[in-house]
Structure 1
Amino acid sequence: MDSGSCGDQELEDKQRTGQPLRVNGPIIVGAGPSGLAVSACLSELGVPSLVLERSHCIASLWQDKAYDRLKLHLPKQFCELPLLPFPQHFPKYPTKDQFISYLESYASHFDIKPFFHQTVQRAEFDESCGLWRVRTREGLECLSRWLVVATGENAEPATPDVAGLERFQGRRLHTSGYKSASEFRGQRVLVVGCGNSGMEVSLDLCRHNATPHMVVRNTVHVLPREMLGFSTFGVAMVLLKWLPLRLVDKILLLIANITLGNTDQLGLRRPKTGPLELKTATGKTPVLDVGTLSQIKSGKIKVVAGVKEITKNGAKFLDGQEEEFDSIIFATGYKSNVTSWLKGVDFFTEEGMPKTPFPNGWRGDKGLYTVGFTRRGILGTGCDAIKIARDIADQQPRSSSFSRIELQLCVPNNRFCI
């Protein structure tokens, strides 16, 4: 294959015989948007790569674990991978299926053919040969000068420990297993989490005649998805070109208060730090409202305090209230799993995030790279993918047959990325 170092048959032969496979380019672990972006940028610079993916498809988080009504929260121009825009006929906010279609077209366009059903069990730098040694659970062993960790910050569902959860007799699941509210029609449902997923799942439940109770433990910024007919994110990006971040935050909050009202009165207390400043410092994304607030105002979605414990038939809350529920949905996000398989490096925290913050957390020592760990979405992924491809290409020997194309950053402003 053009984008890899060998074909499927050679990989299968090496796997069957147990012989290590020497990869001419980097080994990329993960075939989500991050892995695809790096492979495409490398391919554009004439550098082959081998993409290993534990699932059966590219972007398995989107294909297997995303709910049906999911749409991109940002306009499509802010969600493009490097070198290939969305089709012009796609709507401003593409649906889940449209985004998957875009990613499949992206992989096809750059002839990216991951080796599927390969779960990396261990990856470490072998000092004896100066190469990265990657072993998969299925028996494949690969060697390369470079290792690109593209499993990202959303590799595994994150479910909090809640006292008494094992006693609950109803259905409980993470949003990674949630598809549609049609399965919960007429039920009383506890939604744990008030981020974008928690808000949208609650809205979906409400529209299918369920009664959602949304747990809000901490402060949260809720902004309208659009301001004055323009994308809130687009407005922020333009303002950041000319104004200090904190002043932009004040403008966004002023418009939000005018359009949405005082969210504190709905049980959604705003943090003291502004939405963009908070995002830059912690990676916590503001919620972009797509209709949930109106249902909270009407009383169809109940906002409840933090959970003290789960009971046999429901939950007790920190404010002393107790309610019965048919189901519990954890909209508590995802976490990195890199520390479970990447060994012998001091690059990541215990939580599996680079110790060096964005925008400098994309490169480690001895040919180690990371992409998809910026907490700044696809824009952050694009920035890192281009840097990684350039850096690896610069280490390749130049030849007359090697076409070195200068990649341009295709983001409008990489000073701030949501």
Structure 2
Amino acid sequence: MGSCKENEPQMKCAWVLGPIIVGAGPSGLAVAACLSQHGVPSVLLEKSDCIASLWQYRTYDRLMLHLPKHFCELPLLGFPEDFPEYPSRQQFISYIESYAARFSIKPRFRQWVKTAEFDSSCGLWRVRTQDIEYFSRWLIVATGENAEPVIPEISGIDKFRGPVMHSSDYKSGADFQNQKVLVVGCGNSGMEVSLDLVSHHAVPHMVVRSTVHVLPREMFGLSTFGIAMALLKWLPLRLVDKFLLLASNIIIGNTDRLGLRRPKTGPIELKNATGKTPVLDVGALSEIKAGKIKVMEGVREITRTGAKFVNGQEKEFDSIILATGYKSNVPSWLKSSDFFTEQGMPKTPFPNGWKGENGLYSVGFTRRGILGTSSDAVKIAKDIAAQWRPIKDVNSTCNTHIILLGKP
């Protein structure tokens, strides 16, 4: 591979003394903060115009953390004491902004990474955005599991006369008052969007496309997740899963009767194996039992005015919301690396999926939320700090005049 001057005469080149971090969400901020504690500079590239853009632009107004706040803290800084047990969307954004300010993290915004590739001829990562090519010994992939919305292929959806949107564009049920809305998906987003629609006098019909575990957010006055984490320190995973399911049946009843069939694999085992998160109920189940949220079987076809379902029913709808989740976008820009699968997840499972070859790292791909992110961020920073030494002769490495970024 030639010098960037040869490849792109109009493109600027930038040497980064420390690692390049791609993605300024919670994962990217966490690893940048941990690196700074070791005295290692970094450059954080973000395609959007703000930190945590998924939280700022792609979340609905009523969203709250599903887990208690102490399970959602980034390394080195906890939530403010006056925050509630389950912070709101805006409170979490406030915490993230305070975190970036506390550790003087200043991402380079509107830097959309087109390609990132290891150049074996000079032992550096070449990360190209729309106008700059960055060079570094280390590359940290922090774009996460939820980089892009998943848009399923549903027969006839292009014929529907009403609005169709992904839940990432949904803000409030106020926009759907008195409408019949088809919500495709029954995960945490599908459940909460449906609940929000009911609170704004809409009539949601929620499509259950597969089996799903629904658990109460709290059991016996304690966080369900917290109970599970405590039990896992002493008991086998499958025994903990059996306890969760037994307690759930006592507290919320048999969800199969509501059209929400449980998988054969337990909730924690399934989450660890596939990343499929159990639904933590915050009120949707009671609305399903009351008949205000209609549970529907899979969609066979979308029509001009509504949908046909696999059980033969046909109904009319005013709008369609796709609560169909997110996916990694790593395969679209990370080149010449077999560290990630075709789905954009590390091939090596947690807890060892944070480090690849040639100075490649990943953070935020553990399928264990912010707890997993924090664990990986600490490991990555420690590993890079052990290798850290500023390179003095920059220009000789790439045979061209370049911008120097980062301070040792």
Same-fold call, TM cutoff 0.5: yes
> RMSD of the alignment, in Å?
1.2
| Partner Cα distance (1:362, 1:75) in 2 | 25
SS at match of 1:272: coil
Q: Which residue of 2 aligns with 1:46?
A: 39
Q: Which AA in structure 2 matches 1:191?
A: V
Q: Which AA in structure 2 matches 1:362?
A: W
Q: Which residue of 1 aligns with 2:169?
A: 177
SS at match of 1:120: coil
Q: Which residue of 1 aligns with 2:144?
A: 152
Does 2:51 correspond to 1:58?
yes
Q: Which residue of 2 aligns with 1:112?
A: 105
Structure 1 unaligned segments of length 5 or more: list them.
1-14, 399-418
Candidates 216, 225, 242, aligned match of 2:208: 216
Q: Which residue of 1 aligns with 2:115?
A: 122
Give 1:326 deviation, angstroms.
0.3
| Partner Cα distance (2:13, 2:288) in 1 | 57
Does 2:81 correspond to 1:82?
no
Candidates 236, 258, 262, aligned match of 2:228: 236
| Partner Cα distance (1:205, 1:225) in 2 | 20
SS at match of 2:93: helix
Please, what TM-score do these two structures have when normalized by structure 2?
A: 0.93
Q: Which residue of 2 aligns with 1:32?
A: 25
Does 2:259 correspond to 1:267?
yes
| Partner Cα distance (2:57, 2:216) in 1 | 28
CA deviations over 1:341-380 (Å, ceiling 9, x no partner): 1111111111111111111111111000011111111011
Cα 1:129/1:313, change in 2 over 3 Å: same
Please, what TM-score do these two structures have when normalized by structure 1?
A: 0.90
Q: Which AA in structure 2 matches 1:100?
A: I
Q: Which residue of 1 aligns with 2:196?
A: 204
Give 1:16 deviation, angstroms.
11
| Partner Cα distance (1:46, 1:105) in 2 | 20
| Partner Cα distance (2:196, 2:9) in 1 | 47
| Partner Cα distance (2:107, 2:9) in 1 | 18
Q: Which residue of 2 aligns with 1:338?
A: 330
| Partner Cα distance (2:103, 2:185) in 1 | 38
Q: Which residue of 1 aligns with 2:278?
A: 286
Q: Which residue of 1 aligns with 2:396?
A: none
Identity fraction in percent: 72
Q: Which AA in structure 1 matches 2:332?
A: S
Candidates 350, 366, 376, aligned match of 1:384: 376
| Partner Cα distance (1:190, 1:97) in 2 | 27
Q: Which AA in structure 2 matches 1:25?
A: G
CA deviations over 1:42-88 (Å, ceiling 9, x no partner): 00111000000000000000000100000000000000000100000
| Partner Cα distance (1:356, 1:245) in 2 | 20
Give 1:307 deviation, angstroms.
0.5
Q: Which residue of 1 aligns with 2:89?
A: 96
Q: Trace 1:364-375 onto structure 2 (pairs within 5 A).
A: 364-375=356-367
| Partner Cα distance (1:161, 1:217) in 2 | 13
Name the count of aligned residue pairs: 383
Q: Which residue of 2 aligns with 1:161?
A: 153
Give 1:397 deviation, angstroms.
3.9
Q: Which AA in structure 2 matches 1:62?
A: W
Q: Which AA in structure 1 matches 2:15?
A: R
SS at match of 1:264: helix
Give 1:19 deviation, angstroms.
3.4
Q: Which residue of 2 aligns with 1:361?
A: 353
SS at match of 1:20: strand
Candidates 242, 245, 249, aligned match of 2:241: 249
Which structure has more relative contact order (CA 8 Å, sep 6+)? It is: 2
| Partner Cα distance (2:98, 2:25) in 1 | 13
Q: Which AA in structure 2 matches 1:41?
A: C
| Partner Cα distance (1:176, 1:195) in 2 | 13
Q: Which residue of 1 aligns with 2:395?
A: none
Cα 1:16/1:69, change in 2 over 3 Å: farther
SS at match of 2:205: strand
CA deviations over 1:290-338 (Å, ceiling 9, x no partner): 0000000000000000000100000000111111000000000111111
| Partner Cα distance (2:165, 2:255) in 1 | 28
| Partner Cα distance (1:291, 1:22) in 2 | 51
